Structure 1
Amino acid sequence: MASAPVSVVIPVVGKKSKLRSLYQFSPEIKKKTPEKGVKFVEPSTKRPKVATEPSDSAALDAAKTAEAQRKAEEDRRKEESRIAAQKKAEERKRKEEEEKKRREEEERKLEAERKRKAEEERKLREEADRQRKAEEARKERAADQSSVQGQSGVPKPPPAAPIVTSKGLGRYVSSGASSGGAGGYNPNVIGAKDTVGDIYYKTYTEEERGDAPHQAPWSLRQKDTFVEFGPSRDWYLNQFTPGEVNRQKAKPHEMLYRTYILAEANARSANHQIVREWRTMVRERADWEAYRERVLKRVGEFEKAKATFDEEKAKFEADRKAEEWGREGLQKKLHNVEEQLAKEKAEFKRICAQDNERTYALRQKIVGLEATVADLTSKVEEAQGEKTAKQQMEVELTEAKVQLSNKDKDLHAKDVEIAELKRRLNEQIDRCESLEIDLEAEKVKATDAEEARAVSTAALNVAQTNYSEAQGIVDTLVSEAEWMRTRGIVLVANSILNAGELDRAVAALTDAARAVGHRGGYLECADHVERMLGQEFDTSHCSVTEQADAALAGAENSYDNLSLPIMDLVVSALKKDDWCQRLKAILDPPITVESSDEEAAGDDGGGDDDGDDGEGNEDDDGEKKEDK
C-alpha cells in the first residue's frame, strides 16, 4: 500500500484570524482522506502456502524477483517524493529569508538616504544663516562708519585695507613713531631728564597712519585686565633667540642703552594701543545678536513647522478618506475571496470523495485478484500438468500488479494535488490576516498624527512666551551696549591713562635704568682708559653705587606687579549683574555744581564749539588730561 508523501508545514506567524473556522473539514472527509506523513496499512488476506515441484522453481524465482523489484521501485519513489518535499520546504524557507533580508536592506537604505538628505538640508540652512549674518554685520559696519563720517566730516576709509606705511604694516607703526615721531631714530628727542612717558607723549603721532582705520594687532576680549604685565611684556618684547642674545651682547654701551630705551618706549606705546583696542570689544553685543538670531530662527522654524503641520493635516484627511474607500474595496474583495474559497472547498470535497471511491474500488479489485491468485495456485497444486494454463495465469497476475502500480501512481498524484490546494488555502488566509494588520497600523498612524499636533501647539505657546521675555532682555542689553560703546570704553581708557601709579612706576624704572646705564658706561670708559694707558683706573669715584642693579630689579618687579585701583573697581563691577550702573557710578558720576546764568550761557557756547569735534578727538582729550 503506497502512503502519501511527507511534507513540511511552515507555521504561520501573526494573529490568528476567525476565517480559519470556515475551512474546517467534516469528520467523514477526514476519515477518508489520510493526513500527510501518515501511513494506512490495510490488513491483507493470508496467502496459502504454495508447494511447488522442483520443475516450477524458475517461475517462482521470476515472481519473487518481480515482487522485489516492485517493492524497490515503491521505496525509491517514496524516498524521491520525501526528498522533493523537503527540498521544496527548504527552498520556500530560503526564499522567505531572502525576501526578509531584502526588505530590511531597502529599509536601511531608505533610512540612510533620509538621514543624508536631512544632514544636507541642515548644512544648507547653516550656510544660509552664516551668509545672512555676515551680510547683516557688513551692513551694520557700513552704517556705523557712515554715521561716524557724517559727524566728524572725515571721508570714510576703505573697510578692509591693511595699514601699510613707510615702516611696514600697522602693528609696527607705533614702535617706529614712538622713537622719532616719523618712524626713524632721532637721539636728540630724548632729553637728560625725560621719562619713558615723556618720550611717548612727545613723540607719538598718527601721521603715518593717515585716514586708514585702526587695525587691532591683538585678539583681546572685554573684561581682560592688565594685572599681570610680565607675561605680556615677555610675549611681545623679551622672547629672544640665542643668536639675538649674542648680538645684543656684542653691541656697545650706547647701542644697548638706545635699544633699552626704545624697547621701553615701545612697551608703553603697545600698552596704550591695547587700551585703545577696548573700543572694538563688543562680545556682549555679538552674544546678544547671536541670541536674537537664534530667537528669530526658532520663530521661523515654528512658522515652517506650522505650515508643514497644516499641509500634513490636509494630507492626512485626504489619506483618511482614501483609506476608508480602500477599506470598503478591500471588504468587497475579501467577500469575493470568501465566496471563491467556499466554491474551492466544495470542489475539493467532491474531488476527495471521487478519489476515495476510486481507491476503495481499486482495493476491492486487488483483494479479488489476490483471491484469484490463490485459486490459481490451488489449481496448480491439483493439476501440475497444466503448465501452460498456469503460466498464463501468472502473466495475468503480473499485469494486475502492473495495473496496481499504476493506480498507486495516480493516488500519489492526487495527494500532491490535495497538498497544493491546501497551500493555496493557507496563502489566502495569510493574505486576509495581513490586510487586518495593515488596517491596525493605519489607525496607529492617525493617533500619532493627533499627538504631534498637540505637541506643536504646546511648542508654539512656549515660543511666544520666550519671545516676549527675550524682547525685554534685548531692550536692556541694547541700551547698556550703546552706553558702553559711546561712553564706557572712553571713560575706562581715560582713567587708566590718568592713573598716577602708572607714571610713578615708569619714572622709577627709568631712573633705575639710567643709573645702571651710567655706571656701566663709567666702568666701560675706565676699562678703555686702562687698556690705553696701561695702568689701573680707580672706579670708586663713580656716583652710582653697586646697588644700582638691585634697584633696577626692584623697579622692574614693581612695574611687573603694578595694579591700578581703577581696574580693580572696573573688574569687580563687571562681575555684577548691574555692571552698567556700577560703571556709571565709578567712571561718570553726576555733577551737582550749581552755576549762575552767565556761566551757564558761557558753557552753552563752549559746548557748541566742542560738539563739532565728534568722537574723533577722544584720544586727544585723553592726552591733554594726561599732560595736565
Structure 2
Amino acid sequence: MKATLEADRAKFESGLKTEEWSVVGWKRKAEAEAALLSNERKNWREICEKDNNEKIGLRNIINNLKAKVKRLKKQDADIEKLKQEKAEAEAAHDEARSHRERSEQREVRTCATLALRDKEIDELTALLSEQEQIKAELESAKKYLQLERVKRAETSRRLNETEEKLESSETARVTAESQLEPLKNDMLWLKDRGVISVANSVLNADELDETVAHLLVAAGNDGYAQGYAECSHHMVNALKVDWDTSRSATHGFDTKAALATAETQFNTLQLPVMDLVTVGL
C-alpha cells in the first residue's frame, strides 16, 4: 500500500514537474511568439513606412511626370504657335522682299528715265546754246552786211561822182569805166553771191562743226555723269548700301571741266574764213 502511495506520489510529482515544464515551455513559447510578433510588427511598421515612402516617392514622380507632360504639351503648343508665327513671319518677309524688289526695279527704271531726261535736257540745252551762238553770229553777219551796204552806198556815191567827173572827157570816161568795171563786178558778186557765200562759209566751217561736235560730246558725257551720280544717290538711299560707281563710263573723268573747256572753246572760236573776208575787203 505504501509502496503504491509512493508510486502514485512519485507519479504525481512527475506529472506536476511535467506540467510545470509544459507551462514553462508554453510560457517560453508564448514569450518567443510575442517577441517574434513584436519583431514582425516592428518589421511590418518599417515595411509600411518604407512602402509609404516609396508610394510617396512614386506619387511625387507621377506628379512630376504629369507636370512634365503638361509642360511638354504646353511646349508643343508653343512650338506649334512658334511654327505658325515663323511661317507667318517668313510669308511677311517674302512679301516684303518681293515688295522691295519691285520698289528697287521701279527705282532703277525711274533713275534710268531721269538720267535719259537729264541727258535730253543737256542735249537740248547744248543745241539751244548752239542756236544762240549761231543767232549771235547771224546778227554779227547782218551788221557786217549792213556795213557792206553802207560801204556799197558810199562806193556807189563815189562811182557817181567819178562818172560825173568822167563826163567831161571820153578818154577819162573810158579810163574810169575800165577802172570801175572790176569794182562793179565785185559789187554785183557781193550783192548776188558774196553775202550768201560768207554766211555759208561761216555755217559750214570745219572748225565750227568740230567745236560744236566736241561741245555736244562733252555735254552728253557730263549729262550722263550727272544722271549716273543722281541714280547712284537714289540707289544708296533706297538700298542703304554703298554703290559702286566704277562701272560708270565716265568714272575718273572730270566731265564738268571738259564741258567748261568745250564751252570756252566754242565762245572764243575764231573762224579762218572771217580772216579771209577781212583780207578780201
Q: TM over 0.5: same fold?
A: no
- TM-score, normalised via structure 2 length: 0.44
TM-score with structure 1 setting the length = 0.22
Q: Could you say which structure has the larger radius of gyration?
A: 2
